[in-house]
Structure 1
Amino acid sequence: MRESEENFSRFSLLTNDGIWDWDLKTDAVHFDPLYYTMAGYEIDDFPHLLEEYRKRVHPDDVELVFSNAEDHLSGKIERFSVEFRFLRKDGSWLWVMGRGKVVEQDQDGNPLRFVGTHTDISAQKAVEEKLSQYQLQLEDIVEDRTQRLNERILEIERLNAALTNILDDYQTANEKLSSMSTSLTDTYQELESFTYSVSNDLRVPLNKVKESAQTLLKKYPSKIDQKALEYIESVNINALIMDDLIENLTELSLLGRQELNPISIDSFALVEDIINTYSDQIKKRKIKIDIKDLPPCCADENLLKIALHNLISNAIKFTNKQKKPEITIGYQPDQTDDRVIYFVKDNGVGFNMEDTEKVFDTFQRLHSQDEFPGSGIGLALAKKIINRHGGKIWVEAAEKDGATFYFDLERSE
Structure 2
Amino acid sequence: MKLSDFNLTNYKSKFYEKNKLSNKNLDDSKHKIALEISNVGLWDWDVTSNKVFYSKESMQIIGYDEDDLKNTSKFWDSKVHPDDKESYFSDFKSHLNGDVDIYENKYRILCKSGVYKWVLDKGKIIERDENGKPTRIIGTHTDITNLKNTEDKLNKNLQLITSQNKRLYNFTHIVSHNLKTHIGNFKNILEFYEEAKTEIEKEDLVLHLKSISDSLTSTIVDLDDIISIKSKAQVNQINERVYLHNCCNKIIESLSIDSQNKGVTIHNALRKDEVILSNKSYLDSIFYNIISNGIKYSDPNKKSQIIIQSVHTKSHIKILISDNGIGIDMDKFKGQIFEMYQTFHGTMRQDSRGVGLYITKTQVDALQGEIQIESKLDEGTAFSLTFPKQK
Task: Please tell me the TM-score bracket, short chain as reference.
Answer: 0.3 to 0.5
TM-score normalized with structure 2 length: 0.45
What is the TM-score of this pair, normalised by structure 1? 0.43
Bigger Cα Rg: 2
